[in-house]
A = this chain, B = another copy of it.
Amino acid sequence: MNGHISDEYAGYLRTEKYDKEPYRRKEFIINCEKPFNAETRPDLLPRSFYVPNDLFFVRNHAPVPVLKSEEEFRLRVEGIVAFPLLLSLQDLKTKFRKHTVTAVLQCAGNRRTEMSRIKPIQGVPWLHGAAGNAVWSGVLLKDVLMAAGVYPNKAEHVEFEGADLPPEEDNRRGYLASIPLKKALDEGEEVLLAYEMNGEVLPRDHGYPLRAIVPGFVGARSVKWLSRIICKMDSSDGFFMTKDYKYLPSSMDFENVDWTSTPPIMNLSVQCAICDPMPNTKLSQGPYKIRGYALTGKGEHIMRVELSVNGSKEWQEAKLIKGEKIANREIPKRITAGIKDWSWVLWELVVDIKPPMIITARAIDSACNTQPEVPLWNLRGVMNNSWHKINILPLSSAL
């Protein structure tokens, strides 16, 4: 065993060094090397309804932990439960029914770079590529919690612990986050313990061999390298629940911050981004197919995406691309009957390009929520869902 592998846990060799990182593709925009934080090049996103595993954005807080072997992996389920469980990957795959859900993940910090133009923000400088759609397969968290005999009147939160070692967490805990037990136990919310991503084995950067997938919540709650599930009375007091991933008032900075003033972020808000063309692209006059994505939380779907090419004076509707691509669900007809939708939509619209110009996009979801025109600046630079505006520049005449 290498000296830099610090200890063993749940079948992992946990490490604080970066010499066992997985292979990554060159197409990523790397915002931080250690820990690895990389987004999909935004113009690649609308090329397919599901983002390929090796192009899906990666948000790590520590080195990727090293699993010794699939046989040695163990998931603990404990806390306020009647029957604490210690489950192998084989247990999960054979003793519980398999469930598949299409769900978008988005980092709470997606589009931070735009927000930080108002006032600088510390944090990973994400553009608008920290979002992606995938099909996830695994077991329903509900089924595992029922097998453990959770006490729903005593426990109110489910805490997830990863096998990674973020320096921010105390006492050598892994990355910690919790969700309300009510969400976990509601089958319609489809909270998963996932071992497959887009039909393949979960990649190491995405939590191999097991991660939580919490549809409709920010990515920070879909804990990777899941090793422990703890049913608790209170929400997790981990760093990323109490000192980060909070949508603080714009009046707070590091001088006067009161972390207790604001609850941890859970739900995704309505979001929309122009992916193709990229900002500041040089284009010639003429028609161009603008493409992007839109997403929202709470199981709602995107009702409409609108573009403006004349400074928000007039808006045209983009075509939403969904239908058969939503994992064989017939969403449109039945959506008002209360079926939940955790997927993003892709959209496109041919507009007449006359550079220099600004193209603006905004979305409205099925709960009639929409987006603010400008970012609501906050200390952690999270939840920027302002109208997306990109510059288009003229081709130089010399070209």
Q: Which residues of A contact B (CB under 8 A)?
A: 156-157, 180-183, 235, 247, 249-251, 262-270, 297-298, 300, 303-304, 306, 314-317, 334-339, 364, 366-374, 376, 383, 385
- B residues near A339, Cβ cutoff 8 Å: 182
Chain multiplicity (copies): 2
A315 engages B249 (CB within 8 Å): yes
- Which residue of chain B has its CB nearest to the CB of A315? B250
| C-alpha gap A372/B373 in the complex (Å) | 6
CB-nearest residue of chain B relative to A241?
B336
Q: Which residues of B contact A250 (CB under 8 A)?
A: 306, 314-315
Residue of B264, B364, B369 touching A270 (CB-CB under 8 A): B369
- A377 and chain B: residue at smallest CB distance: B315
Chain B residues whose C-beta falls within 8 Å of the C-beta of A367 in the assembled complex: 266-267, 269, 297-298
Residues of chain B lying within 8 A (CB to CB) of residue A376: 364, 370
* Cβ–Cβ < 8 Å partners of A249 in chain B: 304, 306, 315, 317
Q: Are A337 and B269 in contact (CB under 8 A)?
A: no
Please tell me which one of the listed residues B181, B268, B298, B366 contacts residue A263 in the complex, with CB atoms under 8 A apart.
Answer: B366
In the complex, the answer to whether B263 meets A338 with C-beta atoms within 8 Å is no
A317 CB contact (under 8 Å) in B247, B251, B304: B251
Q: Knowing A298-B298, A336-B263 are in contact, say whether A368-B269 is a contact too (CB < 8 A).
A: yes
Q: Are B314 and A262 in contact (CB under 8 A)?
A: no
Whether B263 contacts A303 by the Cβ 8 Å rule is yes
A231 to chain B, nearest CB (A): 12
Q: Which residues of B contact A297 (CB under 8 A)?
A: 367-368
> A264 to B367, alpha carbons, bound, how many Å?
10
Minimum CB–CB distance from A92 to chain B (whole Å) comes to 25
A364-B376, A372-B370 known; A337 and B157 CB under 8 Å? yes
A54–B188 alpha-carbon span in the complex (Å): 40
State in angstroms the CA–CA spacing of A265 and B183 once bound together. 25
Known contacts A251-B316, A315-B251; is-contact A334 B156 (Cβ 8 Å): yes
Measured between beta carbons, the chain B residues less than 8 angstroms from A372 are 370-373
In the assembled complex, the CB of A237 is this many whole angstroms from the nearest CB of chain B, namely: 13
How close is A269's CB to chain B, nearest CB, in angstroms?
4
Residues of B within 8 Å of A368, CB to CB, are 247, 265, 267-269, 297, 383, 385
B337 touches A180 (CB 8 A): yes
Chain B residue, CB-CB nearest to A178: B336
CA distance A266 to B366 in the complex (A): 8
Contacts of A303 in B (CB 8 A): 247, 262-263
| With A251-B315, A368-B383 already in contact, 20 other A-B pairs whose C-beta atoms are closer than 8 Å | A182-B338, A182-B339, A235-B336, A247-B368, A249-B304, A249-B306, A249-B315, A249-B317, A250-B314, A265-B368, A266-B336, A266-B366, A267-B366, A269-B368, A270-B369, A298-B367, A364-B376, A370-B371, A373-B373, A373-B374
CA of A157 to CA of B334, assembled, Å: 10
Interface-centre pick from A250, A268, A338 (highest chain B CB count, 10 A) = A338
Q: Which residues of B contact A157 (CB under 8 A)?
A: 336-337
Give every chain B residue within 8 A of A383 (Cβ-Cβ): 368
CA distance A180 to B333 in the complex (A): 12
CA distance A241 to B36 in the complex (A): 50
In the complex, which residues of chain B have a beta carbon less than 8 angstroms from the beta carbon of A374? 373
In the complex formed, the residue of B with least CB distance to A378 is: B364
